Amino acid sequence: MSALWTSDEIVAATGGTLVGAPFEVSGVTFDSREVEPGHLFVAMPGTVHDGHHFVAGAFASGAAGALVSQPVDGPHVLVADVAEALTALAIASRARVDAKVIGVTGSVGKTSTKEALAAALSRGVGVKVHRSVKSYNNHTGVPLSLARMPRDVDYAVLEMGMNNAGEIAALTRLVRPHVAIVNAIASAHIENLGSMEAIADAKGEIFEGLEPDGIAIVPEDSPYRDRLVKKARRHAGRVLTFGSGEADVAAIHAVRADNGGSLVTARLLESELTFTIAQRGEHWVSNALAVLAAVEAVEADLAVAGLALADMGGLKGRGERHQVEIDGGKFLLVDESYNANPASMAATLKSLGEERSVARRIAVLGPMRELGAHSDAAHAGLAPSILDARIDQLILVGDEMIPLVDALGDSVPVTGAANADEAADALVRIVRPGDAVLVKASNSIGLAKLVDRVAGGTVVLDPLPARS
């Protein structure tokens, strides 16, 4: 197996200087906790910690070399600016591959769509697929994901995110996708961008980096469909839509499957496909249609893509399901702790309402961030989804949820919590065998801690009832 990078290639890409013995690396990371033997450690500067402080630890963990802007002990490539050097390495990585590259963005579900698409493409015989790991989708994560890309991949699926206008434009010009997907538009980041139209425009920047004759994939059912299509036509050789009705890739029929997911018959560009989605919720039908549109766009195997969608397990923080032992029985814990906005909150609450054969439905909800002046109205606006889902008990984290409490009045019992630890304490007091529990908030709230604590083992119940 050839090296991911040699030190000579790193020098050529970055314009740096090799110090010490030549080396080869099998991986790239800027997190010293992720270093494995043979990796390149990128000593990124940071607002809190400077990566150069962790170089020694990286070498102790087996790093083969380092990318640095100041001399260190151990073989390294010395550059003027580490962040710029990582971007240069990303550009060199993209230039050397003969792969179909697919870019994914959107306000909600982009990581899930990216993971599902990578899984669908990977099911092909002998096919090598590279994808962004975790949610590495920003100005450092995208270059890192590109720098990690093996030279012999057949497909690369790369996620791009943003907080402000112009950010995706810069990222897509690094990625240079052959296919670019916008999977949904929602009010995430409206605090920075000011309007839904501006969010749609910022997401549509992904089309600016399309390779010649590239394909843009746009949600048919979005209120911003025409805006996205207009943007895409300036840059794409072809525009495909997915969703319902007259979409190019459309769900003809979708019903709940026996496993709780969906059984879907989809009209594709040249055929029809009936397949099962393991994941629950109507939003996953939309994600799956975007995936199939991309699979067909790159002329990959649609049949095995359908099989991959049937096998998709939940992702940590994005729908992973835990059966947690408790008091001689079990309860279901659905982990949606990674992110939240009004659209994803409504979708996951609806899925909780559709859970069958459960004793009670409990939702542990934290604030949705980056909503700015829209925050109070957006949180209060969750009330209809909660009522429609027949939630039996709410645990609400933080003062930002007060408008929701006011909107609900006395219709649902509510327990307040200041943080993730208090929410975990409240859940342990409330939950019983047979319950279904949804945990969802913006990532910064830290409800992943609650999931790790509660799902980490058998819960010992406090017999006292919860306070409302």
Domain membership flag for residue 466: no
Q: Decide: 69 and 82 in contact? Cβ < 8 Å.
A: yes
Boundary-marking domain end, from 82, 116, 151: 82
- Considering the domain architecture, whether residues 63 and 145 belong to the same structural domain is answered as no
Predicted local distance difference test score (pLDDT) of residue 463: 30
Whether residue 38 sits in one domain with residue 134:
no
Q: Is residue 87 part of a domain?
A: no
Q: How far apart are CA 165 and CA 167, in angstroms?
A: 6
- The encoded tokens of residue 46 equal 């940071």
Is residue 88 in a domain? Answer: no
Whether 341 and 195 map to the same domain: the answer is no
Note whether residue 217 is domain-resident. yes
Burial class (CB in 10 A: 0-12, 13-18, 19+), 80: exposed
Number of domains observed in the structure of the chain: 3
Helix/strand/coil for 107: coil
In the annotated binding site for ATP, the residues are 106-112
Please indicate, yes or no, if residue 90 is contained in any of the structural domains.
Answer: no
Mark whether 240 and 366 lie in a shared domain. no
> Do 414 and 359 belong together in one domain?
yes
**Per-residue tens of pLDDT for the chain, all 468 residues:** 589 999 999 999 999 999 999 999 999 999 999 999 999 999 999 767 899 999 999 999 999 999 999 999 999 999 999 999 999 999 999 999 999 999 999 988 888 899 999 999 999 889 999 999 877 899 999 999 999 999 999 999 999 999 899 999 999 999 999 999 999 998 776 777 889 999 999 999 999 999 999 999 999 999 999 999 999 999 999 999 999 999 999 999 988 887 778 899 999 999 999 999 988 888 899 999 999 999 999 999 999 999 999 888 777 787 888 999 988 899 999 999 988 888 889 989 998 998 888 999 999 999 998 888 889 999 999 999 999 999 999 999 999 999 999 999 999 999 999 999 999 999 999 999 999 999 999 988 999 999 999 987 534 333 322 222
Residues 150 and 189 reside in one and the same domain: yes
CB-based contact 420:451 (threshold 8 Å): no
Of the candidates 248, 281, 311, which is a domain's last residue?
Answer: 311
Measured CA to CA, the distance from residue 118 to residue 312 in angstroms comes to 11
Element spanning 321, H or E: strand 320-326
> Cα 163 to the chain's mean position, in Å?
15
Same domain, 207 and 287: yes
Structural domain contains residue 105:
yes
Residue 13: CATH number of its domain: 3.40.1390.10
Which pLDDT score, from 0 to 100, does residue 80 have? 97
DSSP string, 365-426: E-PPPS-GGGHHHHHHTTHHHHHHTT-SEEEEESGGGHHHHHHHTTSS-EEEESSHHHHHHH
Taking the C-alpha atoms of residue 371 and residue 453, their distance in angstroms, rounded to an integer, is: 29
Instruction: Say whether both 158 and 234 belong to one domain.
Output: yes
pLDDT for position 121:
97
Q: What is the pTM of this model?
A: 0.79
Cβ burial, residue 22 (10 Å; 0-12/13-18/19+): exposed
Claim to verify: residue 24 and residue 113 sit in the same structural domain: no
Residue 460 belongs to a domain: no
Same domain, 274 and 164: yes
**Domain membership of residue 75 as a residue range:** 5-82
Residues 152, 211, single domain; the answer is yes
Asked if residue 233 and residue 130 are part of one domain, the reply reads yes
**pLDDT at residue 467 in the model:** 24
pLDDT the model gives residue 1: 54
Q: Are 78 and 16 in contact (CB under 8 A)?
A: yes
* Domain CATH number, residue 289: 3.40.1190.10
Quick one: tokens of 148? 């990690």
Query: Which among 282, 311, 340 is the end of a domain?
Result: 311
The CATH number for 363's domain is 3.90.190.20
Q: What's the pLDDT score for residue 460?
A: 35
The pLDDT of residue 189 is 67
- Known binding residues are 106-112
Residue 27 and residue 148 in contact, taking contact as beta carbons nearer than 8 Å: yes
416 lies in some domain: yes
